[in-house]
Amino acid sequence: MSAPASIPETPTFVTHLECGMTGERLPADTLHNLSPKGYPILVRYDLAGVKAAMTKEKIAARAPNWWRYRELLPVRRTENVVSLGEVMTPLIPLPRLARALGASGAVIVKDEGRLPTGSFKARGLALAVCMAKELGVTKMAMPTNGNAGAALAAYAAHVGIETVVFCPDDTPQVNMDEIALQGARLYKVNGLINDCGKLVNEGKAAAGWFDTSTLKEPYRIEGKKTMGLELAEQLGWELPDAIFYPTGGGTGLIGMWKAFAELEAIGFIGKKRPKMIAVQAAGCAPIVRAFEQGERHARLWENAHTIASGIRVPAAIGDFLILDAVRESNGFAIAVEDAAIAAGLDEVAKGEGLLLCPEGAATYAAYKQTLADGRIKKNERVVLFNCASGLKYPMPQGGKSLDRFAQIDYAAL
């Protein structure tokens, strides 16, 4: 199968991979899960080579999707590019709500719900599937809270890779249905996502699965990295003052932080970095607890619960990478109550006509909270990540019945 014509033909610049904790060098172009020491693996590039090859003008002339950053992506051969019609996701300002909150800086939502499969998981899983194809994988398995499983199922189905997906049995129904419809064998497990992850780990040798769990393969970060590249380009190669990111496994936060370092290395941006703000739900906030206690690793969060299913992640294997980025950026981690998430969702939907997912609404709630407590200044330009389409989640039932045969008082409607 050939890739669409919009994929730029460029040389590739991956030199090697490395352990995210120890820096141990690992060979590229071969399959990896965790590093030998058991940590997530990062992809490294010949950035001097990228700098010579990639210019802002060249990028600007390419199709509006993440393949425009191909020199900073790992796929070697164009025939292995898997595409379902990706777009650059829009930046949507919230001027009415900003004014109501007394904010003078822009409050901007990056709406990732416009991507294939309706969530930003498409970015990471597309790259994971491309690389699986490139490296000859035929069966992929993963635990999911919904959106990751859907993106894996879709991209893998597109190239004929078999998928097996495990999700908590209370995952939003839409997610379970789309995963199954897109060809994955889906199992609903009586547990949380980390329990599902254990099943993948236990079964992979016997079943011959490639473990595609968050940060247990090197390429989902590279896909999520494109959020940082895209955001920088959309803002004229200038980063905002703060980024509010709903944090589960943290792939996106880690990926964006990596993107900014690579952009600086190739001379596209300067030293300025946004405060990276990890937003979690009060019912599942292991990163917030570790941040507040000054720890580099996060303990498992017991009895995790929240309506924001995408961030119901009791333990993250990349905890130290999340916490390092948050601290280096002078950012922080913050927990918001489910009630504030629901109220935020309602406020943005009614006030700006933008239907967020609960995780996206959590970033808005966190913005309001930190504007009130002074951690974020009113003149700061902030970006809130809405990571999925609000249509993928259960919504409060709307509408009232109307009897068309009865006398209708139209003026009172």
Ligand X SMILES: *Cc1c(COP(=O)(O)O)cnc(C)c1O
Nearer to ligand X, 12 or 89 (CB): 89
Angle, CA of 100, 337 and 310, to the nearest 5°? 100
Nearer to ligand X, 218 or 246 (CB): 246
Q: Using CB under 6 A, which of 230, 233, 359, 380 touches ligand X?
A: 359
Are 47 and 266 in contact, with CB atoms under 8 Å apart?
yes
**In the bound complex, what is the minimum distance in angstroms from residue 214's beta carbon to ligand X?**
6
**Residue 110 makes contact with ligand X by CB under 6 A:** no
**Residue 121 makes contact with ligand X by CB under 6 A:** yes
Residue indicated by tokens 């379902």: 84
**Residue 248 makes contact with ligand X by CB under 6 A:** yes
Contact region with ligand X (CB under 6 A), list: 39-47, 185-193, 226-234, 246-254: 246-254
Residue list 30-49, contact with ligand X (CB under 6 A): none
Contact region with ligand X (CB under 6 A), list: 79-87, 250-258, 364-372, 405-413: 250-258
**Residue 348 makes contact with ligand X by CB under 6 A:** no
**Residue 390 makes contact with ligand X by CB under 6 A:** no
Taking CB atoms, the residue at the shortest distance from ligand X is: 310
Neighbouring residues of 374: CB distance < 8 A, sequence distance ≥ 6 = none
Angle, CA of 34, 299 and 365, to the nearest 5°? 100
**Residue 276 makes contact with ligand X by CB under 6 A:** no
Are 243 and 366 in contact, with CB atoms under 8 Å apart?
no
Site string (196-215) toward ligand X, x via CB under 6 A: ------------------x-
**Residue 228 makes contact with ligand X by CB under 6 A:** no
Nearer to ligand X, 12 or 110 (CB): 110
**Residue 274 makes contact with ligand X by CB under 6 A:** no
CA distances to 23, 49, 60, 265 from 52, in Å:
25, 5, 16, 11
Neighbouring residues of 300: CB distance < 8 A, sequence distance ≥ 6 = 194, 286, 314, 315
Tokens of 289: 């607890």
Which of the 8 DSSP states describes residue 333? Answer: E
E strand intervals along 179-296:
185-189, 210-211, 242-246, 275-281
Q: How many residues bind ligand X (CB under 6 A)?
A: 18
Alpha carbon 334 to its chain centroid, in Å, reads 18
**In the bound complex, what is the minimum distance in angstroms from residue 134's beta carbon to ligand X?**
23
**In the bound complex, what is the minimum distance in angstroms from residue 130's beta carbon to ligand X?**
18
Residue 104, Cβ density class (10 Å: 0-12 exposed, 13-18 middle, ≥19 buried): exposed
Question: Footprint of ligand X on this chain (CB under 6 A)?
Answer: 119, 121, 147-148, 214, 246-252, 310-311, 357, 359, 387-388
